[in-house]
Structure formats: structure tokens, C-alpha cells
Structure 1
Amino acid sequence: MKILGKLEKVELREVWKNESSDFTPWLANEENISILGETIGIEMEVEAREKEVGPFKADILCKNTLDNSWILIENQLEKTDHTHLGQILTYAAGLNAVTIIWIAKKFTEEHRATIDWLNEKTENQINFFGIEIELFKIENSPVAPMFNLVSKPNNWHKSISQAAREMEITNLTETKILQKEYWEQLEQFLRLNSKIIKPTKPLPQHWTNFAIGKSYFTNCAIINSRDKKIAVHLSITGDKSKENYKTLLSSKQNIEKETNLKLIWEELPDAIESRIKVELENIDPSNKENWNKMIEWHKNCLEEFDKLFRERIKNI
């Protein structure tokens, strides 16, 4: 019989004596913020520590790399308290389109219920996560962190209520309905068949975006019924879009040696965006008989773009 090690719990204060000088810098490290991101399903990068928001300072300020929205992280090495609850409400009131992550050693029942209530009552653009952190080791192994999600946005409820509001405002055209249905099928396929690409919420539009690990860089899947083609773009935006595009362009020869895809490089000098793309032509997205082929192609190209560009843009 194979002998297994015994999992031992380690007190947080044995590793981090102080929240601001020990735990916050540890969490702000790229590798550790990535572990937190995997727990809640959001890719994010750290923008600042001790960021002023009203009368308080948020522990860590991040950007959601998919849509460039703000993520604020408040942490404590003890059980949750009313002081920190007041602070996260201040953050929510002081920012637009924000995600609030509250990390603590232990969530009391009343604070867990409060986060659940906030997610139920707030609009879709504000999301609250409650996370408990624990530390473990096996005999003399290094101590390992575990983030436990205890409260999260009720996406099903919010998406249903948002969809209802959208339908009250406007009637979706047949094309929009078809687009949403295609992205829904792509989302399901990616969940079952890709370990690399994280699906996003399907919307009635001709594109859908995927995170690639850095703000102002986004992978986009495109369907174009008018021109009968589909595409995948690496979209580069922001104030430094042209500079960042040229940095990638300087490695064009090496990038193209690593792939069989026929890449199209577009600086778009008169636009805010630059992009690198690949297209599949002579295929009609309005014909559902083409969808299996399209979905497979989108998956393969999105994974290939992730492999080609993730590490490169991370180092820009």
C-alpha cells in the first residue's frame, strides 16, 4: 500500500505577520495574483497597491485584462468585520464597472449573507467576491495557499434580469439571435474541449472577446455573415497601441516561423486599435450546417494565438 502524507493546516500569522507589509506584497506578486484569478475565473494584472479610494486605501488595485475594468482587493488576516465591510462599500460607490474581492481568514455568516445580498441587489457591472484563505503543508514541504470561494456573483440571476431589460428596450433581429446562439455553442464547446481558452458570456453581437493576460490586449473571435467569413484577431488598444504593435511587428519573422497560420498584420494608423488577425473565407455563419467546422476553427486559432502571443505581450 502506498503511504500518503498528512495535510497540516498552518496559521496565517506564522507566514504573514502583517497584512500591509507581508500579505499584500505577497498577493500582489504576479504568480499569486494569477492563482487568485483562477479561483474566480478572471485574468487580472496588478496596477497599484495602497490605492486611495475616498477616505480609505484599497489594498490592491487590478485591471481585468478582458475588458480593462477595475478590480479592487481588500484583505485581512482575521475574520471579517464591519470596518472592512464599510470600506468595500466605499470602493463600490466610488468606482464604475468594478469587481470587489474581499479576502479574509474567515467569513462570518452575516458578512457572507451581506455579500450574497449585494450581488443580488446591485447591477450587472458591480460584482462582489468573498474568499477565505488557508495555508497547508505536508510534513516538511513548502507552505501552499488555498483560496476558497465562499460568495460570488449570481451570474445566472443577473444575466436573466439583464436579458429581460434588453428585450424590453429593443427586439433582437434574427441576425443578433443567431450570433448569440453561435457564441453559446462555442462557449459550451470550449468548456468541454479547451484547457487554454476561458469562455466568456455570449452576447448578441458579431464578436466575442477572450483574455490573454494583459490589459489592452484581447483575443477576439469574429463572425461576418455579410462577407461570409470568420476571423480571430489579437486586438491591441490603449494609448500605446501603435508602440506595442510595432514591438510585436519587430518579431514578425520569428512569430510566423512558429505557426502555420497565415497572419495578417494591420497597424490601422488612423484608428485607436491595431491588430494581428487570421481569417477563414467563403464560409457563411448564417448557415448552421457550417457551425461545427467554424467552432473547431475558432478554438484552434484562439489556442494558437494564445500560444504565440501570451508570453510575448506579457514582456512588453
Structure 2
Amino acid sequence: MGSGLEITGLGKLEQVPLREVWKHEASDFTQWLALPENVDQLAEVVLGGGSLTVIDTEVNVGSYKADILAMDSEERIVVIENQLGQTDHDHLGKILTYGAGKQAEVLVWIVKDAREEHENAINWLNEHTDESIHLFLIQIEAWKIGDSAPAPRFNIIAKPNDWLKAVKQSTAAGSVSDLKLQQQAFFAEVRELGQKVSTHVRSWAKPTPQHWYDIRVGSGKGQISITLNSQKSYVGVEFYANNKDTYFSLERRGPEIEAAVGVTLDWQELPNKQASRIQVTKPGDFRNGGVRQELLEWAVQTVDTFALVFPKYL
């Protein structure tokens, strides 16, 4: 007996040649992949839902250039090597050279097709290198339905044993990295100091083990965040605008806002994201006892100033 449901109008999934989508490896594919929303797709496959933050592209390593240098959510250095063709010995040697030169813990080799011998090489390296080194061989494909825009698809060809299981365990409750715990401890000190001296922040949330700490300003249009970047060794305070309308309305009054906060701000539209940020940073490693108190006081004072100024312009 039929269900009475008739399905019509389904499209046909067609594979698109990679060179029709990205003509050049460096100028097209690498720059495309480096955009936040695209590298997030790669992170979903490699990290099982974690995140990747691109530090730079075409990074010098001796006389060579690594395609992408990134950092994952555990602040491990990630090197990404792109090859819109079949794997070869040259690119295998390059990604190992780049990994050594940048002291990377995660190496990601993205290719059109993989030779069996290179897949075996990656598997062998994962089995015989230190447990802190993780190598991935990823296939990139492009697909479309009818006249739709091509969509990328990342397929794992080779990966470390039990990688996704280890990633999930490392982010589960009760299994947090030392760095995340140090970040949480710093933000706990920020909260304690802020509760004592701040006059414009209504409440300081309980910090969690992550590299950012959000402070609400009583508006759904955005919030203030303190960020810790141990890789580049700075502390940042930013107003995070949740949409472009809010950002552009603030940007139009940029000189007035900068005069009110008393510093020159870094206006980051982030054109490929819905949100944008307006940031100021102070050099220094929050783990360094010699500058820790100075960074704490600067962060709290800057947050207090942002909390006074930005809500007036929302």
C-alpha cells in the first residue's frame, strides 16, 4: 500500500573540477580557505567541531613558504599545505619541513587525489612519531546541484588513530588543558579586581576555561570581550558588534568614540562574518608574573572605559 507521498524535482549531484572553482592554488584556493567561514568547515572535519584561527598565509619557512599557519582551540600550531593535484614527494617533504620549522603539532595536507604510497606514509608517520604530532591527509572536492554554486567537501583519507575521540575527551568536563586553566585563573583575577574598582560594568560573569571572557553591556547589539593570545603574546579588549549595521553605525562616529575612550582603536569589519570587532591590545604574556598585574589592571580599566562609552552609541 503506497504512502501517498510523491517526491519530484530532485536535483542531480555533480562533481565540479577543482580548477574550475579555484584556478590558482596560492592566490585562489589558499586565500579562500583562509577565510574564517571556510577554515571552519575544515575544522569541523579535522577537529570534530573544534575551531581553527588563521594566523597568516604564505608564511616564510627558510627559503620556502607554508600555505597557511593556524592555531586550533587548544592553541596548538597547525600547518596547512594545499595541493590541487595528486600527492607527490615534493609536497610531503614540504609539509614536514614546515611543521619542523614552525614547531607545529598538527599538519594538514589537502589534496585533489592521494597516491596509495603517500597515504601509507602519513599513516606510518602517525604510528611512529611522538604522540604530540598529528598528521592529516585530506581530500578536497567540489560539488553542485544543477546551476547551484559549487560547494566544497573535505574527506579524511588518513588521520591519527583515535584523533576525534582524543579531541572530544580533551574538551570534556574534567579534562581541560593547563593553558585553559591558566586562562580561567587570569579571568578570575580580572573578575575579582573588576568587582572592586569598576564603576560602569553591571556584573562580571564567572569565567570558564577558554581564551576569551565576555562582559555584557545591557544591549543585544554586542558585548565587550577580553581575549588572551599567548601565541602572539598580548591581551586584547574589544567591543564585539553582533551585526554589520551596529558596526557601521559605530564606525561612522569612530573619531568621536576614539576621543572618548582615549586610544586609537583597531576597526575590524570582518567582511566574511556577520559580526565585527573594535579592538585595542596590550603586549605581554598573561602568564608572566612580571607583567601580570599590569595586564590585569589595564584590562579592567579598559573594559570599564568601553562599558562607559560604547553603550552611548548603540
- What TM-score does the superposition give when structure 2 sets the normalisation length? 0.56
Runs of 4 or more, structure 1, over 6 Å off, are 156-159, 201-208, 216-220, 273-276
Shift of 1:145: 0.4
1:285 corresponds to:
none
Q: 1:14 to 1:203 in 2, by over 3 A?
A: same
Shift of 1:27: 1.0
**Which 10-residue stretch deviates more, 66-75 or 81-90?**
66-75
Q: 1:13 to 1:218 in 2, by over 3 A?
A: farther
Out of 20, 31, 45, which is 1:25 matched to? 31
3-state secondary structure, aligned to 1:78: strand
Shift of 1:127: 1.1
Out of 51, 54, 65, which is 1:46 matched to? 54
Structure 1 position 232 matched with structure 2 position 221: no
Shift of 1:107: 0.8
Shift of 1:81: 0.6
Structure 1 unmatched ranges of 5 or more: 160-183, 189-198, 211-215, 223-229, 250-266, 277-316
2:67 corresponds to:
59
2:141 corresponds to:
134
1:145 corresponds to:
152
1:107-122 matched pairs, under 5 angstroms: 107-122=114-129
Structure 1 position 270 matched with structure 2 position 277: no
Structure 1 position 200 matched with structure 2 position 159: no
Out of 96, 99, 124, which is 2:131 matched to? 124
User: Aligned partners of 1:133 and 1:207: how far apart in 2?
Assistant: 34
Letter of the structure 1 residue corresponding to residue 79 of structure 2: L
1:2 corresponds to:
7
User: Aligned partners of 1:54 and 1:201: how far apart in 2?
Assistant: 38
User: Aligned partners of 1:15 and 1:273: how far apart in 2?
Assistant: 47
Structure 2 unmatched ranges of 5 or more: 1-5, 189-205, 214-226, 241-285, 301-314
Q: 1:110 to 1:271 in 2, by over 3 A?
A: farther
CA RMSD of aligned residues (A): 4.0
Checking the alignment, whether the CA contact within 8 Å between 2:184 and 2:207 is kept in structure 1 is: no
User: Aligned partners of 1:206 and 1:22: how far apart in 2?
Assistant: 36
Q: CA offsets per residue over residues 247-283 of structure 1, 9 Å max, x none? A: 469xxxxxxxxxxxxxxxxx9961767999xxxxxxx
Checking the alignment, whether the CA contact within 8 Å between 2:85 and 2:113 is kept in structure 1 is: yes
User: Aligned partners of 2:208 and 2:97: how far apart in 1?
Assistant: 39
2:263 corresponds to:
none
User: Aligned partners of 2:164 and 2:23: how far apart in 1?
Assistant: 40
Provide the identity percentage: 40
Shift of 1:207: 7.1
Checking the alignment, whether the CA contact within 8 Å between 1:88 and 1:100 is kept in structure 2 is: yes
Checking the alignment, whether the CA contact within 8 Å between 1:124 and 1:158 is kept in structure 2 is: no
Shift of 1:62: 0.9
Letter of the structure 2 residue corresponding to residue 35 of structure 1: Q
Shift of 1:231: 6.7
1:95 corresponds to:
102
Shift of 1:124: 2.1
User: Aligned partners of 1:203 and 1:237: how far apart in 2?
Assistant: 22
